[in-house]
Amino acid sequence: MTTMLDILSVVGARPQFVKLAPLARALHARQEVQHRIVHTGQHYDDRMSSIFFEQLALPTPELNLGVGSGSHGQQTADMLRGIEACLLEQRPDAVLVYGDTNSTLAAVMAATKLHIPVAHVEAGLRSYDRHMPEEINRLAADHCSDRLYAPTPLAMANLARENLAERAVLSGDVMRDAVIAHHDIALAESRVLEQLDLADQPFVLVTLHRPVNTTRESLTQLLHGLMASLDNSMRVIFPMHPRTRAVLGSTIDALPPALSVIDPLAYLDMLRIASAAGLIMTDSGGLQKEAAFLRTPCITAREQTEWVETVDMGVNRLVGRDLTRLAAALDHFLHGPDPFTPETAICMDNEYGKGDAAQRHCDDLVEWLGAASIAAASTGGDPT
């Protein structure tokens, strides 16, 4: 290669900032790469955006589209318009997209239509639940992207079943890289346990944000069911998404008193509190994995998960909104044997990698784009 590779990452939501951090560091270390970041503004609250850039030591985005919230169609359309204008002006050699948000979908659509190569980080995940908007985004991103970075062997198998194996690379999970890199920092710097008076007592950490779980009826039912099963034996800490708080309104005042509703947590605080929790209940995809990486049992308030490996290892249980299954899962994890064994640790390494995923992504990306440039030069054509 005679010229520097220009790679543009498009992100917009807090899980994507976490995935970006290890890759941004790996790409920055390559002299032949110029790496820039576009922030769509999908998550715009300081507690869900700027604090993540600060704690993860991410470079300032070159552009923030400031899209904000809205319906799926409106949000994706606004992002598509802004990303397309950026790509037309800058014409990077490749676009990196992350995960399965509307930011992912918009970036893939914009770049693909402009014939700019796209690489999808965290490809091949499937929950097989098309009621989840993320599932639609994953499918579209994988089938339109030119390079697919599968975090697990199961993700690779999913891509092979969809005839996408030739584009796919088993890369490991960059979120595990992030946890490994920041866990000790979180233990040293975060004061969240002291601030919440949790340092010497058991507690359950809850995050719920999906629309199916955050109507007033479904959310209050889940939380009251959780508290009844715990019988006030443990505090419950609920960092609440601003949208969920807005849906609940004054209903928050009717929630059980042992339940502590707090503002969303910064990344280091979230790592420390998740590591210290006796149990996590969530409907988040990323937190299911982070719980496993931090050796904290997890109950997932969904009927399906894209992270099947955590269920197969026995460290995560799916309960949906069924209070009977929730009570059984609580009893299993709180009173049964520790699900994290030496065999689990080996399985975790085999499934998600040992913390070198970002370097593997970076090495392959540079090699792949270099090969594409050489092929284009030899034919006088476009690299795509």
- Cα(78)–Cα(106) distance, rounded to whole angstroms? 9
Distance in angstroms (rounded) separating the CA atoms of residues 122 and 131 = 20
Catalytic option among 143, 209, 224, 332: 209
Interatomic CA distance for residues 31 and 50, integer angstroms: 27
- CA nearest to 338, candidates 273, 270, 279, 271: 279
Query: b vs e for 322-359, b when ≥16 Cβ sit within 10 Å of the residue's Cβ?
Result: ebeebbebbeebbeeeebbeeebeebbeebbbebbbbb
Helices (H), 29-165: 50-55, 72-90, 102-113, 133-144, 153-161
> Catalytic: 209?
yes
Angstrom distance (rounded) from CA 44 to CA 58:
16
- 129 membership: H or E segment, kind and range: none
Judge contact between 259 and 227, C-beta under 8 A.
yes
The radius of gyration of the chain from alpha carbons, rounded to an integer in Å, stands at: 21
Taking CA atoms, 306 is separated from 123, 171, 323, 331, 350, in Å, by 11, 17, 22, 24, 17
The secondary structure element, H or E, covering residue 8 is strand 5-11
- For the record, the structure tokens of 281 come out as 């209940």
Contact 287, 304 (CB under 8 A): no
Cβ contact 241:264 at 8 Å: yes
Positions annotated as catalytic residues are 209
